[in-house]
Amino acid sequence: MVMARKNRLVQVVRFAFLVGLTLIVFAFVWVQVQQHLFRLRTQLLLNDTRSLWMRPDTFEDLRHLQHRWGAFGHYEGTCTEEHCEYTVTLTSLESALWRNDELRVLRDEAFALFGGRGVNIQCGFVVHKNQMVLESLFFEIEVPYDRGIHLPFKYTSGDLMIARIRSASRLFAPDMFGREADLKRGYEIGRAQPGINAWVNLTPQTNSADIIRLSDINLDCITRFKPCVDMDDLLPAAWSEFRRDHTDTDESAYATRCSVSPALFAREADNIALVEVLKLHAPEYPSEERTQGANVRILESLKNNADHLVDSTASISFSRLDVYRGPGALSDPNRKLAVGDRVFLLYPRLVPGQSPGLIDTGSCSLIPFSDATLQSIREGIAMDPSGEDLRDISILY
């Protein structure tokens, strides 16, 4: 009888072990299948977004995107040719409405234990006046805290690695200006702190080869068992270039030469006006870098300029670096600004409380008038069809 009970117990333990092993294998296979299917879906979304980065797009292209992604897409309010903000969201682990936080944490840890990655992806698309003016991809993936140990029990409770690739009318964010070298080559690579965050900014003028190279997100990070731990893993081509450009002490890339086409400066500018110099005068604080001031009359409003009406006057202060010299014969490098000159004035929006009678200028913000510069300025304005600040709707708030 004792032997029979022992045999029965052994059978029960063996059965329980086999059931447990089967459940573990099933869970592992299920998680891996889900991850690979998610990776495939992510690749399709990345391909769709990349194709929009590489060519001019309209509202009809957005309609095709909405049809393709169906339930994964969302927009608020109306979505018309005049204006539409549309997002596509993918997540590797759906956030079910679990009332018990401990059970939800246990589920997430079990998911990570079997090789799952917490991944959130959101793509934002903005159409304005029947032109696609913003396409942005936000990619967020969990990485382990202890990056030197790659054991399964180290996968949980990780940090976040974030990459954002964005194509908009302007290369730089409103009220900000990057390196002139970035403006010349047509893209910007940067990082944000704290955390492991990187961004790539593109424009419709960025060439296709650069777009393909810089948008190379390593989707192996979703499925490989050894996790990706830094931006070299996730964004290999772009991050290698960023480190190469920012590890030396050469500051030439940050020098202001005003050697880029006026069109690119016009694309980035918030406001552009054609003005006439009425008077030159010394600055209020001669000890500062600003070396000269002027009173100007607004002759023509070319871009925005809501606060400065035609025939109104304003006071500006500037340094020698603010006057665009440009390549070739666009302007004489030895000639200084004089009374009676007509120049294009590029300047940021007014700070709240700032008087319209005072205009802040920046580098390369005074471009001498000529037929060549007028044509270039108009080309640059056409590159920025929105003419207004558009928030990046792909950022997860």
The per-residue pLDDT for 47 is 93
> Which among 202, 370, 387, 216 is positioned nearest to 304, based on CA atoms?
387
- What are the start-end ranges of the E strands in 188-229? 188-192, 196-202
Instruction: Give the chain's end-to-end CA distance (angstroms, integer).
Output: 67
Q: What is the mean pLDDT of residues 325-354?
A: 71
The per-residue pLDDT for 206 is 93
Range 262-383 has CATH code 2.40.50.120: yes
CB of 149 closer than 8 Å to CB of 184:
no
pLDDT band at 181 (very low <50, low <70, confident <90, very high): confident
Q: Indicate whether 143 pLDDT > 90.
A: no
Residue predicted with more confidence, 92 or 282: 92
pLDDT band at 329 (very low <50, low <70, confident <90, very high): very low
Q: What is the mean pLDDT of residues 210-216?
A: 94
Domain positions in the chain: 30-246, 262-383
Q: What is the mean pLDDT of residues 275-302?
A: 77
Name, of 41-45, 228-232, 323-327, the range with top average pLDDT.
41-45
The per-residue pLDDT for 299 is 95
How far is CA 230 from each of CA 90, 115, 236, 239, rounded to the nearest angstrom? 22, 18, 10, 10
> Which among 139, 135, 124 is positioned nearest to 86, based on CA atoms?
124
Residue predicted with more confidence, 344 or 391: 344
Q: What is the mean pLDDT of residues 350-369?
A: 80
Read off the pLDDT of residues 186-204 as tens digits, 9 standing for 90 and up: 999 988 765 568 999 999 9
Q: What is the mean pLDDT of residues 277-296?
A: 71
Q: What is the mean pLDDT of residues 236-252?
A: 78
Residue predicted with more confidence, 249 or 328: 249
Q: Indicate whether 386 pLDDT > 80.
A: no
Q: What are phi and psi for residue 126, nearest 5 degrees? A: -125, 125
Dihedral of the alpha carbons of 91, 97, 103, 106, in degrees to the nearest 10 = 0
Q: Indicate whether 396 pLDDT > 60.
A: no
Under DSSP, is residue 90 helix (H, G, I), strand (E, B) or coil?
A: strand
Read off the pLDDT of residues 367-378 as tens digits, 9 standing for 90 and up: 889 898 999 999
Q: What is the mean pLDDT of residues 124-149?
A: 80
Q: Kindly give the pairing relationship between strand 159-168 and strand 196-202.
A: parallel
Residue predicted with more confidence, 206 or 284: 206
Q: What is the mean pLDDT of residues 31-47?
A: 88
